[in-house]
Structure 1
Amino acid sequence: MYGDSVTSVADPTAAPPPYYVPPPPNRFVRLMARAPKWLAPVSVLGCIAAAAGYTMLADPTESRADAAPTCLLKLTTGLDCPGCGGTRAFWYVLHGNLPAAARHHALFVFALPFLLYLYVAWTGQRVFKRKLPPLRITPTMIGVFLAVWLGFSILRNLPWAPFTWFYV
């Protein structure tokens, strides 16, 4: 009686499970399928240009610590967050002052050439069908970068010399 309803071995005469039939594409999917190939790289470039324009107009090097927009962590605790100094570093990069940019966020300045290369390679492949040599970023490299970033974030909040140099 109990063995009839529960089987431990699959029944070979049972019907196979139904195959997955994807739903028909909605309007958004159809629109994106017809979008020109250059639209995504131009959109990303527009976002970068908007960020650069805002940074140039806002001049984060002259603002007060509590001026909007501000880092909530720094405002409430006084500690530098992992991204603190990134906007000022971007401002200095836009003005060509790399030592001052590195002073505000060294890892941002280190990562910027890699990010630019990834964008140019992606745009070249998507728009012009040209492949640049691939930038081989392994999961280990990402893990090491994130560990260094965490260590940098901790060290910049220590109040002793020589770590006070990291404080922004």
Structure 2
Amino acid sequence: MSHGAVPHGPVGGAPPETPANWPVGYPAGYPVAESDRLTRFVARLYARTPRWVVPLAAVGCVAAGIGYTLLSDPTRSAPDALPTCLLKLTTGLDCPGCGGTRALWYVLHADLPAAARHHFLFVFALPFLAYLFVAWAGRQAFGWRLPELRIGPKLVGGFLAAWLAFSVLRNLPWPPFTALYV
């Protein structure tokens, strides 16, 4: 080892000593930077916060989105009413999420065929997303152990590929793809 070099891993096969302030899950043998005041404040705040606060905040965000959808009635608003999609406004193309707010409005009014007409993949994914959220929030807030959905990278990649294909096909200007316009 050269002069002034600091060993960062096992020397001679022996594992390095783990300092007391070492982060959990951090690879052993690497130096840990000293935390700044903001990081220490956030860490203390996180340690003192009840475990149900984050799921409650997430429920609040979901409720705000649902409330906005119900109050704005996106099915009756003008196509150029604010807020509008910047991609659609600038290019005239439907974005990957185009029709999602209208689909949510129809789901909230129990009209699944109309919801699927506006954004089929959103309607398809909604029950899975709802279950994943309930399982996560229940585990965080109450310690529930609901059965896990096994969603691997191949399934996520397949869904994203289908979403990309749907996004491209709905913008093609000839039949039968014009039926996908929203």
Q: What TM-score does the superposition give when structure 2 sets the normalisation length?
A: 0.81
Choose between structure 1 and 2 for higher RCO, CA contacts under 8 A separated by at least 6 residues. 1
More off after superposition, 73-82 vs 148-157 = 73-82
Correspondence for 1:16: 7
* Alignment-derived partner of residue 107 in structure 2: 93
CA offsets, 1:19-63, max 9 Å, x none? 435427522221111101110111000000000001100010011
Deviation at 1:11, TM superposition (A): 4.5
Number of residue pairs matched? 159
- Structure 1 residue runs without a partner (length 5+): 1-9
Question: Closer, same or farther in 2 for the Cα pair 1:102/1:14, shift >3 Å?
Answer: closer
The equivalent of 1:167 in structure 2 is 181
Partner residue of 1:111? 125
Q: Which moved more, 1:24-33 or 1:59-68?
A: 24-33
TM, length-normalised to structure 1: 0.87
Q: Secondary structure at the match of 1:23?
A: coil
Q: Which has the larger radius of gyration?
A: 1
Unpaired stretches in structure 2, ≥5 consecutive residues:
9-29
Aligned-CA RMSD value = 1.9
1:13-92 counterparts in 2 under 5 A?
16=7, 19-20=31-32, 22-23=34-35, 26-92=40-106
